[in-house]
Amino acid sequence: MAETAGNGRTGTKGAQLRSYLLGLIEGELKPHEKLPTERDLAETFGVTRLTVRRALDQLGYEGRVYRTQGAGTFVSEPRIAKSVELTSFTQDMRARGLVPGSLDTMVEEIPAGAEIGARLALSPRDLVAHISRVRTADGEPMCIENTYVPAKLAPGLAARGITGSLYQMLTETYHLKIEKAEQSIHATVLDPPLAKLLGVPEFSPAFKVLRVAYDAKNQRIEYAESVYRADRYSYDFVIFRTS
Ligand code: GLP
């Protein structure tokens, strides 16, 4: 039985090897556990080490395994966790080599009201810290952000005010660590007041990003509405094919 057909496609043994490896990755082995060695796989399936390496490379491209020089091949974390990262504005800008900042920061403590209350699973009368900021990159306005944090989780936030990263402050001052978020992105245009704040022509296109963020205990830590200039901002993802 040919292990590699003349057209370069993987033959039957190669397919068996791949389905065996997928079985291990999805079944017996946990993330960061080691797969059998190339030599063992080659012997078990009666194929060359080159065929094994190709199968492992393919799984590597798909994000299912990772290889560490001299140590072997290991199961990756589940894909979703790797493909989309939960970051703050500060982290996003730093990753692009830009200096993050904020203008016109306003912080107040207000009742949540019906809409924000529903987003944060609070009653309308519960208090929230409302933070309104124009976020900048290298001093240039990029985004208008309105963030709401339950006051009982971050007492005194409104009085303390905020100059840098909210996420850093939540972690360092309030020991609230955001672990996951539900997020949706909508297309919109900037009405005249928002366009003025961002320094772009009226009715310029923008992205509206809505995020509800949670900690490891599934507590809702923030609800944020961020409106980004579409001419200066893009959403970049690594996405994986599942079949
Ligand atoms: C992004 C998110 C917001 C979050 C903000 C925190 O913009 N869309 O939901 O509030 O980051 O950013 P920072 O930690 O820089 O204040």
Burial class of 206 by CB neighbour count within 10 A (0 to 12, 13 to 18, 19+): buried
Q: Are 89 and 135 in contact (CB under 8 A)?
A: yes
- pLDDT tens track for 5-63: 434 445 688 888 999 999 999 888 998 999 999 999 999 999 999 999 999 988 887 77
Residues 117 and 225 in one domain: yes
Confidence (pLDDT) at 78: 64
Residues 67 and 174 in one domain: no
Nearest CA to ligand 1 atom 13: 165
Residues 88 and 147 in one domain: yes
> Can you list the positions of beta strands (E) in 6-64?
none
Ligand 1 closest atom vs CA 164 = 16
pLDDT band at 93 (very low <50, low <70, confident <90, very high): confident
**CATH number of 160's domain:** 3.40.1410.10
Ligand 1 closest atom vs CA 170 = 14
State mean pLDDT over 98-115: 95
Nearest CA to ligand 1 atom 9: 224
Tell me how far apart the alpha carbons of residues 226 and 212 are, in angstroms, rounded to a whole number: 12
State mean pLDDT over 157-180: 95
Confidence (pLDDT) at 236: 73
State mean pLDDT over 201-229: 95
Q: Are 76 and 82 in contact (CB under 8 A)?
A: yes
**CATH number of 71's domain:** 1.10.10.10
Confidence (pLDDT) at 243: 66
State mean pLDDT over 194-212: 94
Q: Are 9 and 43 in contact (CB under 8 A)?
A: no
Confidence (pLDDT) at 49: 93
**Whole domain around residue 22: which residue ranges?**
12-78
Nearest CA to ligand 1 atom 5: 88
Decide which of 27, 55, 78 is a domain's last residue.
78
Residues 92 and 133 in one domain: yes
Residues 64 and 105 in one domain: no
Structural domain includes residue 162: yes
Tell me how far apart the alpha carbons of residues 72 and 70 are, in angstroms, rounded to a whole number: 6
pTM for the model stands at 0.68
- pLDDT tens track for 122-158: 999 999 999 999 999 999 999 999 999 999 999 999 9
Ligand 1 site: residues with CB under 6 angstroms? 88-90, 100, 145, 147, 165-168, 209, 211, 222, 224, 226
Structural domain includes residue 198: yes
Ligand 1 closest atom vs CA 90 = 15
Nearest CA to ligand 1 atom 6: 88
Structural domain includes residue 155: yes
Residue 152 sits at the vertex; the CA angle it makes with 148 and 158, to the nearest 5 degrees, is: 55
Structural domain includes residue 192: yes
Residues 106 and 121 in one domain: yes
Confidence (pLDDT) at 2: 42
Question: Is the model's pLDDT at 83 over the cut of 60?
Answer: no
Q: What length does the chain have?
A: 243
Give me the phi and psi of 47, to 5 degrees please: -125, 170
State mean pLDDT over 92-103: 89
Confidence (pLDDT) at 164: 94
Task: Compute CA distances 236 → 57, 113, 211, 212, whole Å.
Answer: 24, 34, 17, 20
Structural domain includes residue 16: yes
Structural domain includes residue 239: no
Q: Which of 41, 42, 32, 29 is nearest to 74 (CA)?
A: 32
Give me the phi and psi of 225, to 5 degrees please: -120, 115
Decide which of 47, 78, 109 is a domain's last residue.
78
Structure tokens at 1: 């039985």
Residues 46 and 73 in one domain: yes
| Count of domains for the chain | 2
193 versus 77: which is more confidently predicted? 193
Ligand 1 closest atom vs CA 166 = 16
Task: Compute CA distances 165 → 54, 57, 169, whole Å.
Answer: 44, 39, 6
Tokens 């360092």 belong to 172
pLDDT band at 82 (very low <50, low <70, confident <90, very high): very low
Confidence (pLDDT) at 113: 97
Q: How far is the CA of 88 from the centre of ligand 1 (A)?
A: 4
3-state DSSP assignment of residue 156: coil
Question: Is the model's pLDDT at 107 over the cut of 70?
Answer: yes
Task: Compute CA distances 167 → 20, 140, 155, 226, whole Å.
Answer: 43, 21, 15, 15
Confidence (pLDDT) at 43: 95
Structural domain includes residue 32: yes
Confidence (pLDDT) at 11: 65
